[in-house]
Amino acid sequence: MQRLPWAWALRLAVTLLGMSLSACGFHLPTGSTIPPRLQGLQVLASGPAGGSLATAVERELALDGNRSSPTAPVLDIRNAYVSQRIISISPSTGVALEFLNTLHAEISLRQGDRVLLPPEPLLLEHSFSYSSSNPLATNVQQEEDQRLLFREAARDILRRILYDKGLRDGH
């Protein structure tokens, strides 16, 4: 007879956990967050960093179960490039210690001749630093930082598209 309250409490805890996870936007890996209208989204990109950014977006879409379709809307990423500047220099050695990578691009979404999301700027910044005692690590750190920058940009782009009320509601 004493097991009954524990079973009831466990059932209540699991129910509350399920409700709180669903309220915060949690999705099972198999549950797509892409609205049906945007399923099969294609990605086109231009600019020196366009290919890397398009690959990052396609990777994020694939994680959500999206498979590109020729009849689906097209995400257009234009003039994507990364600029870099030094933001910190060692006062004792004069060696650059910290850099700021900035990703610049313009994104839009269209289906055929119809504009679903007008062109808007994309600007993301990411700083990285390195130890002046190991200058050879700088290139590796820079490459890793750019991969992280592209991944964050891909997620930002998809957030903009997925949370646009007009795109979500199908208007």
Q: What is the pLDDT of residues 103-140, one digit of tens each?
A: 999 999 999 899 999 999 999 998 877 665 666 566 77
- Could you tell me which residues come within 8 angstroms of residue 82 by beta carbon, excluding any fewer than 6 positions away? 48, 49, 101, 102, 103, 104, 146, 149
Which residues of the chain, if any, have pLDDT below 70?
1-32, 130-138, 165-171
Q: State residue 136's pLDDT score.
A: 59
The answer to whether 126 touches 101, Cβ cutoff 8 Å, is: yes
Q: State residue 107's pLDDT score.
A: 96
CA distance 127 to 68: 33
CATH for 18: 3.30.160.150
Overall domain count for the chain: 1
Range of the domain at 41: 3-169
The 3-state DSSP class for residue 69 equals coil
